[in-house]
Amino acid sequence: MISRRDVIKWGAVAPAIAAGSQAAFAQAPQGLDAFMLDTRYVDSLPTEHAGIPAICFAGDVTKPWFDTLDPAWRQRGYVLGGITGSDALFVLQSLAQQQGRRVVSQTQLGEKDERGVYPVSWVIAPVHPSVTA
């Protein structure tokens, strides 16, 4: 399990990572628009951090994507950070690509389980001109 402190630390460093070489991310000066937190890996959840809402789910991305991300990804902008299982990231990444977005940074945070799934932190940002802010 990743602790609340780690989540917050990650939240603090993610914009800095992105500000380095990721041009797309740099276009979102306030940093992240939302966090996605996979409750299979993150305990004691913050509902928000520094005013950024946290979207919590337990592995299956259907509902958060349908309710929140799909409508947001139809608009310009929207930089999303997450700590999730690599399986959830695989699905989100594929959905994001369809909507002009890409994983611009990712870091493995723990060991693989017996299925080969591991916790990972990441940032998905708009890259196509039709959706960059």
> Residues in the site for other proteins, rule: CB under 8 A?
40, 59-62, 65-66, 70, 85-91, 94-95, 97-98, 102, 114-117, 128-130
Minimum distance from residue 130 beta carbon to other proteins (Å): 6
Using the minimum distance from each CB to other proteins, give the nearer residue, 111 or 114. Answer: 114
Contact in structure between 61 and 92 (CB atoms under 8 Å)? yes
Spatial contact of 122 and 106, defined as CB atoms under 8 Å apart: yes
- DSSP, res 115: T
* Least distance in angstroms from the C-beta of 62 to other proteins: 5
Residue 63 DSSP one-character state: H
Structure tokens at 29: 């000066």
Residue 73 CB, shortest distance to other proteins, in Å, is 12
Whose Cβ is closer to other proteins: residue 46's or residue 106's? 106
Query: Which CB atom, from 43 or from 60, has the smaller least distance to other proteins?
Result: 60
**Are the beta carbons of 105 and 18 closer than 8 angstroms?**
yes
CB 110 within 8 A of CB 118: yes
Q: Residue 54 or residue 131: which is nearer to other proteins going by CB?
A: 131
